[in-house]
Structure 1
Amino acid sequence: MSTYKVLDVNDDLPIRTQGDVHSGKVRSVYWLTPEDSARLIEEKSYGIPTDTPLAIMIISDRISAFDCIWQGENGLNGVPGKGIALNSVAAHWFKLFDEAGLAGNHIIDIPHPYIWIVRKAKPVMVEAIARQYITGSMWRDYSKGVRDFCGNQLAEGLVSNQKLDDVLITPSTKGIITGVAEVPEVDDVNITRKNIEDNLDVFNFKSLDDVTKYEKLLTEGFKLITDELAKLDQVFVDTKFEFGYVTETDGTEQLIYIDEVGTPDSSRIWDGPALRDGKVIENSKEGFRQLLINNVPDSDVLLNKDRMDERSELAKGYKLPVEVMMSVSDTYTGIASKIIGKEVVIPQDPRAEVIELLDKEYGLIVK
């Protein structure tokens, strides 16, 4: 049995907020009151407009796959160290993006490995996806005869896990887009650049130039991570970035990176030596997805979007062995340690640490 406590519930911390806590699959967002936001911007010299709304973003150790949260036996309802691994890897890439002069991001402070303090951004309603290999859902579609991917035409005769001649940009919708005839009104559907160009307002873009800019920031960020991972003999396969607009102190609106970048949750990362031997070893969540596909009673439940109700029921009742959760922990903390260049240290009780820090150093805990 693991001796670690995981932060599996992260939306019930006693943080003073304005409005409800927004809880995603992995992170929960606590929007601060205008008073607390202004106080911290001044106290901590954050260098952004004092009327900028701030949020405390708490990452959890939950693991999601196929749009469901999965749990372990013996109450280990998360993966030890996963939250720290994701936060530290994304922060590492954001720092390198800054140094390379690409674009800023929404993080303004990282007081603890489980905490980001972020500034409010107006999100672009596009999941910016870049692919360097044909694998996963793209390969599944290709093997069924699909050759057009978001307006990119692929050649005949490609094989699974083959490297593509160019990095492909294959955007999809972030949230449900309404009122665009060619785009179905469901979350996460593939779109083309032309769909975006013809509907700038719907996708929250300010200009055509910014569509070009997001593609530039996506490809340049993708190349930077690819080159850095290559130094570690790891292969950057594909990834998802997200973007949004913020207002700077001089009043200008800037397109920045938001969410996370280059993490084992939002990207596929393969082991270089294994790939040269013709094997794929996943140093990302894809390994967990494959594990689920191979172990659940009926893998079609996971792969067929029409069986979502069955999938949700399966995930609620399915408990993964502790050793499986710990092996996933090893994958996350192992690749994170490689990327950031030092060992990821897992706290014994992340929840208690987070509350104490936000109380003593930020004055945000409700007594």
Structure 2
Amino acid sequence: MSLADKVLAVNNDLPIRTDKPVHSGKVRSVYWLTEADSARLIKEKGYDVTSDAPLAIMVISDRISAFDCIWHGEGGMNGVPGKGAALNAISNHWFKLFREQGLADSHILDIPHPFVWIVQKAKPVMIEAICRQYITGSMWRAYAKGEREFCGIEIADGLNKDQKLPELLITPSTKGILTGIPGVPEQDDVNITRANIADNFAAFNFRSADDIDQYEKLLKEGFNLISNELAKLDQVFVDTKFEFGYVTDAQGNEKLIYMDEVGTPDSSRIWDGPQYRNGNVVENSKEGFRQLLLSHFPDPDILLNKDRMEERSALARDNALPESVLMEVSKTYTGIAEKITGEKIELSDNPKAEIIEILRDQYGLID
């Protein structure tokens, strides 16, 4: 069996019973269950949600996206072996710790397979919340050009690239295109200030102004928990993205929860501690793959310049990356997952067949 066979690249064609279109994102696909199946599973499995809550099956893939494109490799390798299982294992680990230590729940109700989550529908807060502990990446590029204000926060002069910031910064941006908010451009992923959020909390889907404090508390507590745990492994938690939403539990209480994924190499930067202390940045995150792409192609501006999106899409479509490159990325993802969880990431011979069997036999979701 070839390595390409062990990669789950297409995850939106599973025969899961649904009466809605399958939503396929860059990495995950979402299958909304029928009302009857949702109600049946809630009863059978005792999930802590209202009896009529909509449930979905979320299936991760091994696809890898960077610079808003999906990349592939030679020999029909349309993803990175072990990546999907590694991302889910890491998120599962942090979500579990958040719950155990009394921070907040997540959208995950059940984990039938390393590639699969059963989730409840959440009303998302329309903010991508970025927490930064070090100055690097896009923030450093802007700082180096003389910018000193980020999301309404003033930053001191005299900082060096990759230096630890004096305090943890929250630099939020919009999730999706929001309309009619004064001072906020109508485009996806645009930086916003705390004042923007406070003045228009309902437009960002917050239930009340008080929930902004709760959201910031969960951001900081979540970041610090992961940072402290990674420090025990001599890894540096540099920055990360959090997403939040509202759900209602079986008692009818509406609560703010963590959703999407947390503390993964896709949503965070994680640096190797010993190397950082020696003055080197060694990425244990997707940032390493981005840097690799920038050095792999002769004209990196195509990857960085939003006005060259057409050329960029062609670059990703027409260039199969060497297998060795994807295996290096695989090593990064599975390596950090095994460090964090303390368990080996096993490559499945046929993940799709396994998922179908479990969802059919144990959950009755496949005809």
TM, length-normalised to structure 1: 0.98
Q: For 2:139, give the aligned amino acid.
A: M
- Residues 143-194 of structure 1: CA distance to partner in whole angstroms, max 9, x if unpaired? 1111111011111111110000100000000001111231111111110011
Q: For the residues of structure 2 that align with 1:152 and 1:68, how far apart are their CA atoms?
A: 31
Q: For the residues of structure 2 that align with 1:253 and 1:244, how far apart are their CA atoms?
A: 10
Q: For 1:237, give the aligned amino acid.
A: V
Unpaired segments ≥5 residues, structure 1: none
Which deviates more from structure 2 when the two are superposed, residues 78-87 or residues 1-10? 1-10
Residue of structure 1 equivalent to 2:280: 279
Asked if residue 39 in structure 1 is aligned to residue 40 in structure 2, the reply is yes
Residue of structure 1 equivalent to 2:89: 88
Q: For 2:48, give the aligned amino acid.
A: G
Residue 47 of structure 1: how far off its partner (Å): 2.4
Asked whether the 8 Å contact 2:4–2:75 carries over to 1, the reply is: no
Asked whether the 8 Å contact 1:4–1:80 carries over to 2, the reply is: no
Asked if residue 14 in structure 1 is aligned to residue 15 in structure 2, the reply is yes
Asked if residue 317 in structure 1 is aligned to residue 283 in structure 2, the reply is no
Residue of structure 1 equivalent to 2:223: 222
Q: For the residues of structure 1 that align with 2:19 and 2:231, how far apart are their CA atoms?
A: 44
Q: For the residues of structure 2 that align with 1:228 and 1:318, how far apart are their CA atoms?
A: 38
Unpaired segments ≥5 residues, structure 2: none
Residue of structure 1 equivalent to 2:271: 270
Q: Secondary structure at the match of 1:96?
A: helix
Residue of structure 2 equivalent to 1:174: 175
Residue of structure 2 equivalent to 1:105: 106
Q: For the residues of structure 2 that align with 1:323 and 1:66, how far apart are their CA atoms?
A: 20
Asked if residue 304 in structure 1 is aligned to residue 305 in structure 2, the reply is yes
Q: For the residues of structure 1 that align with 2:260 and 2:254, how far apart are their CA atoms?
A: 18
Q: Secondary structure at the match of 2:271?
A: strand
Q: For the residues of structure 2 that align with 1:45 and 1:249, how far apart are their CA atoms?
A: 10
- How many percent identity over aligned positions? 69
Q: Secondary structure at the match of 1:320?
A: coil
Asked whether the 8 Å contact 1:2–1:322 carries over to 2, the reply is: no
Which deviates more from structure 2 when the two are superposed, residues 100-109 or residues 293-302? 293-302
Residue 3 of structure 1: how far off its partner (Å): 6.2
Query: Residues 311 and 3 of structure 1: is their aligned pair in 2 closer, same or farther, counting only changes over 3 Å?
Result: closer
Q: For 1:206, give the aligned amino acid.
A: R
Q: For the residues of structure 2 that align with 1:146 and 1:334, how far apart are their CA atoms?
A: 36
Residue of structure 2 equivalent to 1:118: 119
Q: Number of aligned pairs? A: 366
Q: For 2:148, give the aligned amino acid.
A: R
Q: For the residues of structure 1 that align with 2:190 and 2:311, how far apart are their CA atoms?
A: 21
Q: For 1:21, give the aligned amino acid.
A: V
Q: For the residues of structure 2 that align with 1:312 and 1:207, how far apart are their CA atoms?
A: 41
Runs ≥4 in structure 1, deviation > 2 angstroms? Answer: 1-4
- Residues 187-224 of structure 1: CA distance to partner in whole angstroms, max 9, x if unpaired? 11110011111111211011111111111100100000
Q: For 1:190, give the aligned amino acid.
A: N
Residue of structure 2 equivalent to 1:352: 353
- Residues 109-146 of structure 1: CA distance to partner in whole angstroms, max 9, x if unpaired? 00100000000000000001100000011111111111
Q: For the residues of structure 1 that align with 2:20 and 2:234, how far apart are their CA atoms?
A: 45
Residue 4 of structure 1: how far off its partner (Å): 4.8
Q: For the residues of structure 2 that align with 1:294 and 1:67, how far apart are their CA atoms?
A: 17
RMSD: 1.0
TM, length-normalised to structure 2: 0.98
Asked if residue 237 in structure 1 is aligned to residue 238 in structure 2, the reply is yes
Q: Secondary structure at the match of 1:206?
A: coil
Q: For the residues of structure 1 that align with 2:37 and 2:49, how far apart are their CA atoms?
A: 14
Residue of structure 1 equivalent to 2:203: 202
- Residues 18-37 of structure 1: CA distance to partner in whole angstroms, max 9, x if unpaired? 21001100000000000000
Q: For the residues of structure 1 that align with 2:323 and 2:84, how far apart are their CA atoms?
A: 17
Q: For the residues of structure 2 that align with 1:41 and 1:179, how far apart are their CA atoms?
A: 38
Asked whether the 8 Å contact 2:63–2:78 carries over to 1, the reply is: yes
Q: For 1:89, give the aligned amino acid.
A: I
